[in-house]
């Protein structure tokens, strides 16, 4: 299973809006057999920047992984572990990383925030820089 981080979903939305196959669509096209999911925390992050309708459309084909008590313990454990080494994530990223760890999934992301999470299966998709 691939868990898509908020950054990956925003990048994917841009590629879809521009009708182009960029690095995210290319990666997903090469991994069609993978189940796609996102954390419910990601749903909240996306809903903060877009309407509910737009968010639902973007996420319509993804499984939404709920926060549960077991996942909460995993998030707390991860936060404690990262605090001990001075590499704490932001709160939402901690929950998203814990979700991927809890489900033994690969996290698909575009920024460097998750590089410091030990044991996290992850794929970083590099987005090309654009001149503005």
What would the pLDDT profile of 78-132 be if each residue is shown by its tens digit? 999 999 999 999 999 999 999 999 999 999 999 888 999 999 999 999 877 654 4
Task: Count the domains in the chain.
Answer: 1
Mean pLDDT of 35-60: 96
> What's the predicted TM-score (pTM) here?
0.91
Q: Where in the sequence is the domain holding 69, given as residue range(s)?
A: 2-124
Domain presence at residue 130: no
Domain presence at residue 91: yes
Residue 39, SS3?
Answer: strand
In angstroms, the CA 124 to CA 89 distance is 16
Domain presence at residue 132: no
Identify which of 75, 107, 111 has the alpha carbon closest to the alpha carbon of residue 91.
75
Residue 34 maps to which CATH number?
3.40.50.1010
């Amino acid at each position: 299973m691939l868990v898509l981080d908020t950054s990956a979903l925003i990048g994917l939305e841009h590629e879809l809006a521009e009708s182009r196959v960029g690095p995210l669509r290319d990666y997903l096209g090469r991994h069609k057999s993978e189940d796609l999911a996102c954390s419910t925390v990601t749903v909240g992050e996306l809903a903060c920047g877009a309407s509910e309708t737009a968010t639902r459309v973007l996420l319509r084909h993804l499984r939404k992984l709920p926060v549960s008590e077991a996942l909460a313990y995993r998030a707390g454990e991860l936060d404690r572990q990262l605090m001990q080494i001075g590499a704490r994530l932001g709160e939402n990223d901690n929950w998203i990383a814990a979700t991927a760890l809890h489900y033994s999934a690969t996290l698909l992301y575009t920024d460097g925030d998750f590089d410091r999470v030990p044991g996290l299966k992850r794929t970083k998709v590099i987005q090309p820089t654009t001149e503005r």
